[in-house]
Amino acid sequence: MRFGFRKAGWAGMGLFAILLAACGSTATTANHSIPSGPISVGELLPMTGAESFVGQWFLHGIKAGIYAVNSNGGVDGHKFSATLEDTAGDPVDAVTALQTLLTHSPVVVFGPSSLSIEGVDKSFSTDHVVDLMEGGATFLDHMTFPYVYRVFPSDSVLLTGEAYYALHTGCSTASLMYTNDANAQAEVPPLVKAFTGHGGHILSNQQIVPDQTSYLSEVQVAFQGNPQCVFFHADPQTASTLFANVKQLGHMNVRFITGDTGASIQLANAMGLSTASHWLTGMAGTTPYGAANSAFLNAYQAVWNTNKPLPASPAMYDAVVIAALAMTAAHSTNPVVWRPYITKISNPPGTACYTYPSCVKLLKAGKKINYQGASGNEDFNQYHNVFTPLQVVQFDTSGKLHTIYTVTTPDLNSYY
């Protein structure tokens, strides 16, 4: 009943907005007013379970974004107030977590991740709550969920970048070692298509059961044909055992290529930094815009007392800024009203702006803006996805992440 009331409420407000708009500018302005008091926002994240490290990545970015908005006047003077619910990285648990979160009447939800989005993707439209999420799930590549927006490139883009990097740096024969969960296995077809479609050859495709005590048999099969590299996907705990078995059998002499989790110090530590500095690579967004990155780092420093952000946190920072700018542009916190403004403030044409206060200033002056974020241009296509160049990254022995290769947009387009 709670959700039925909520849906009817927002739907009624949306109809009311249309009727008022027909009555004149004074009525429209009244409808677009922002209620007094804090603005409720939701954080729907995997804080426990195998993907808990991803939850920390996202939370760090969200909190930095909330600080950037609130310390610069909020949305027309009203600050964000966040409530966190744990999905445990599970689509079933995500349903309960979202139901609990909705009791706080959030106008926007940040998260969840790929492992849990499938449980709730349709709910955001049903309840008329905007969702800004980060996760590579390939089934979202052509999504038709009007209230869901993805602020970081799909795994299919990352996987295309992995294939391009492998083939252009001497790896034409590879094995696959991916965990057997649906999210990981969904990455296999686009990777295989990009790799084999441009001359690569797959020697073995091993499905890994997470959290086992040994993967010796899988490693033996994967390395029978002497692959020049290994594409893989696994959580740090599973990867630790897998890498130990690879070393035990004397095969830690080829590159292990993975996606954005390869930018995780947890995964590098699972291999061992001295080894990872030679044989482990991950994927990340390209170097951000200077002003956007500086604003992000300043906010991150203020919240977390460090200017070394966790992976994936810049995109979630951008998600918060985008939501606040869309509400500001719409003069409303009603998701039915402000949702269409997401692409209006993010996509060209418009005056480029890189920080929350500078973008708000332009909006107040009546300008059309094009927000350029800390994680990239944040230009959404018709499927509410973004598409940016990529960097291949690797940790050194001190734990510092370095870019070792860049896959440009034309590179990706040539393979995608």
CA proximity to 187, closest of 261, 251, 293, 133: 261
Instruction: Give one DSSP letter per residue of 112-172, joined into a string.
Output: --HHHHTTTTTHHHHHT-EEEE----GGGTT---TTEEE-S--HHHHHHHHHHHHHTTT--
For residue range 342-360, list pLDDT tens digits in order.
999 999 999 999 999 999 9
Task: Give residue 97's pLDDT.
Answer: 98
Rounded to whole angstroms, the Cα distance separating 327 from 269 reads 41
For residue range 150-201, list pLDDT tens digits in order.
998 888 889 999 999 999 999 999 999 999 998 889 899 999 999 999 999 9
Rounded to whole angstroms, the Cα distance separating 183 from 337 reads 33
For residue range 249-297, list pLDDT tens digits in order.
999 999 999 998 888 899 999 999 999 999 999 998 776 789 999 999 9
Label the pairing between strands 173-179 and 229-233. parallel
Q: Of all helices (H) and strands (E), which one includes residue 173? A: strand 173-179
- Say if residue 1's pLDDT is above 60: no
Alpha helix stretches (DSSP H) within 24-147: 25-31, 52-70, 91-102, 114-117, 123-127
Instruction: Give one DSSP letter per residue of 215-245, joined into a string.
Output: -HHHHHHHTTT--SEEEEE--HHHHHHHHHH
Greatest mean pLDDT range, 3-17, 51-65, 278-292: 51-65
Judge contact between 149 and 218, C-beta under 8 A.
Answer: no
Q: Which residues contact 267 (CB under 8 A, 6 or more apart)?
A: 236, 239, 258, 261, 276, 280, 282
Q: Which residues contact 4 (CB under 8 A, 6 or more apart)?
A: none
Higher pLDDT, residue 6 or 342: 342
- With 0-12 / 13-18 / 19 or more C-beta atoms within 10 angstroms meaning exposed / middle / buried, residue 190 is buried
- pLDDT mean across residues, the chain: 90
- 207 beta partners: 178
With H, G, I as helix, E, B as strand and everything else as coil, classify residue 196.
helix
Q: Which whole number is the average pLDDT over 393-400?
A: 96
Task: Give residue 13's pLDDT.
Answer: 38
